[in-house]
Structure formats: structure tokens, C-alpha cells
């Protein structure tokens, strides 16, 4: 059975909103779904990584140091999720895509964070999905779906049910030149998914029904890319 690769944003995992309760429930969901779908879950850094990176910027530390600190935080988040899942998952945190891909043939659940400086965990998820020839990528974010603009600043923003990979790429490229809206999926990751023709489901990871539907490839309220 083909793998599902999950990019789980730090803003979903630890937004400081009943996080332990969420972790317990999402861990239960992963344990249950892993019986049907082998999972690789790549955790993001969220506001904790952004905080460290902002302090390092003020200390005039270079981009490499900032990225390495960001990676450390993603791995801390991965450890947190790994503990919540328990012994059903591989007990180490793979530090490289190659290692994750190797272990994915032996374990039903792999949990990890970032790998090397210069990209984000969405790209790591896409790279792993490419190597594993995964069925789909599920991007669990803190928004309901992809929008034409940031819905918090523009109530007229259009919500997308479906996009092609090219349309997603245009959307995130557009976002780069505008202040504010954070991209729904990292540009490099979207390029990798387009090249390998892997669908991406963009859903609110705090909505566990929605999260489950996305992992199963069923109908979601969020955005389906590339189908």
C-alpha cells in the first residue's frame, strides 16, 4: 500500500490551545489510520521556531544559523508527537530524507522534523513523498483551505475547492510578493509535488474529521490539489 506523507504545521501541533488534548487525539488518529495507510509525518516549527529565528536575526546571526535553530525546533515538535503516539512508531527521528525513506519500509509510522537548511518542512514532506511514490501529501494547516488572499484581511477572498499544481504554484508565488498571508504550501515543495504529480490535500489539521478524510483521500472541506 502506498504511503501518505503528512506535513503537520507547528501552528497545528502547539498553538497553545488545549495542545495536550489535541496531541492525545491526533496520536490516536494516527495509530488507527496507520493500520490502513503507512504514514510519514513531518512536523513544522510553528511560533516557537519563528521566535528563535527572530532573536537570532537581532543577534545578526546568518541564515544558516537561523535555519539550523528552526530545524532543532521542528525536531522537538516531532519528539513531542512521537511520545504521544508511543511505541507504534519508529522511535528515532530521521534527520535525512534518505533515512526516513529507508525506515518507512519497516515501520507503519515515521515522525520527523526538518533536514537541512534552506527549505521548510513542506519541502521535506514533498521530497519524501517523491521518493516513496506516495499516494498523496496531506498538508495539515491552521486554515480551512487555500484562498485567493488572506481571508483574515480580505473577507472577499475566494476559497478554492480544487486547484491544479500549476495554480497552487501561481498562488504561492503571488503570496511571496505581498505582505502578510503565509503560504498554504511552501513553493519548493509545490514544485516537487508538481514534478512527481502527487496530489496535495490542504486541510485544517485541528479538525480531526477533516484530517482523517484527507489521509483516506475522501471528500474534504479543504482544497485538493492536482486531481
Beta bridge partners of 138: 6, 201
* Contact track, ligand UTP, 111-140, x by CB under 6 A: ---xxxxxxxx--x----------------
Q: Per rule CB under 6 A, is residue 222 in the interface with ligand UTP?
A: no
Q: Chain-centre distance of CA 146, in angstroms?
A: 14
Tell me the H-state helices in 59-164. 63-85, 97-104, 121-132
- To the nearest whole angstrom, how small is the minimum distance from the Cβ of residue 211 to ligand UTP? 16
d(CA 153, CA 181): 9
Q: Per rule CB under 6 A, is residue 205 in the interface with ligand UTP?
A: no
Q: Which stretch binds ligand UTP (CB under 6 A): 38-46, 86-94, 193-201, 210-218?
A: 38-46
Q: Per rule CB under 6 A, is residue 38 in the interface with ligand UTP?
A: no
**DSSP H or E segment with residue 4:** strand 4-8
Q: Per rule CB under 6 A, is residue 82 in the interface with ligand UTP?
A: no
SS3 content of the chain, % helix, strand, coil (to 5): 50, 15, 40
Q: Per rule CB under 6 A, is residue 110 in the interface with ligand UTP?
A: no
d(CA 113, CA 71): 7
Those residues with Cβ within 8 angstroms of residue 63's Cβ, 6 or more apart along the chain or in another chain: 117
Q: Which stretch binds ligand UTP (CB under 6 A): 20-28, 33-41, 42-50, 91-99?
A: 42-50
- To the nearest whole angstrom, how small is the minimum distance from the Cβ of residue 32 to ligand UTP? 26
Burial class of 79 by CB neighbour count within 10 A (0 to 12, 13 to 18, 19+) = middle
Q: Per rule CB under 6 A, is residue 204 in the interface with ligand UTP?
A: no
Binder of ligand UTP out of 5, 33, 74, 134 (CB under 6 A): 74
Q: Chain-centre distance of CA 119, in angstroms?
A: 13
Opening angle at CA 143, ends 88 and 3, nearest 5 = 35
Q: Which stretch binds ligand UTP (CB under 6 A): 44-52, 95-103, 132-140, 171-179?
A: 44-52
Q: Per rule CB under 6 A, is residue 210 in the interface with ligand UTP?
A: no
* Contact track, ligand UTP, 5-34, x by CB under 6 A: ----xxx-----------------------
Interface residue list for ligand UTP (CB under 6 A): 9-11, 44-46, 49, 66-67, 70-71, 74, 114-121, 124, 182, 186
Amino acid at each position: 500500500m502506498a504511503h501518505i506523507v503528512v506535513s503537520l504545521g507547528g501552528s497545528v501541533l502547539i498553538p497553545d490551545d488545549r495542545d495536550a488534548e489535541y496531541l492525545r487525539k491526533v496520536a490516536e488518529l494516527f495509530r488507527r489510520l496507520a493500520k490502513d495507510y503507512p504514514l510519514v509525518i513531518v512536523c513544522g516549527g510553528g511560533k516557537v521556531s519563528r521566535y528563535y529565528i527572530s532573536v537570532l536575526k537581532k543577534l545578526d546571526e546568518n541564515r544558516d544559523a537561523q535555519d539550523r535553530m528552526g530545524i532543532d525546533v521542528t525536531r522537538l515538535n516531532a519528539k513531542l508527537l512521537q511520545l504521544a503516539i508511543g511505541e507504534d512508531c519508529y522511535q528515532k527521528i530521521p534527520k535525512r530524507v534518505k533515512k526516513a525513506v529507508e525506515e518507512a519500509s519497516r515501520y507503519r509510522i515515521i515522525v520527523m522534523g526538518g533536514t537541512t537548511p534552506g527549505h521548510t518542512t513542506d519541502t521535506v514532506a514533498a521530497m519524501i513523498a517523491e521518493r516513496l511514490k506516495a499516494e498523496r501529501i496531506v498538508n495539515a494547516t491552521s486554515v480551512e483551505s487555500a484562498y485567493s488572499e488572506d481571508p483574515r484581511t480580505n473577507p472577499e477572498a475566494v476559497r478554492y475547492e480544487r486547484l491544479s499544481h500549476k495554480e497552487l504554484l501561481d498562488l504561492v508565488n503571488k503570496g511571496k510578493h505581498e505582505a502578510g498571508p503565509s503560504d498554504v504550501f511552501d513553493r519548493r515543495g509545490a514544485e516537487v509535488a508538481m514534478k512527481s504529480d502527487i496530489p496535495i490535500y490542504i486541510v485544517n489539521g485541528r479538525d480531526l474529521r477533516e484530517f482523517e478524510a484527507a489521509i483516506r483521500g475522501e471528500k474534504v472541506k479543504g482544497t485538493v490539489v492536482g486531481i
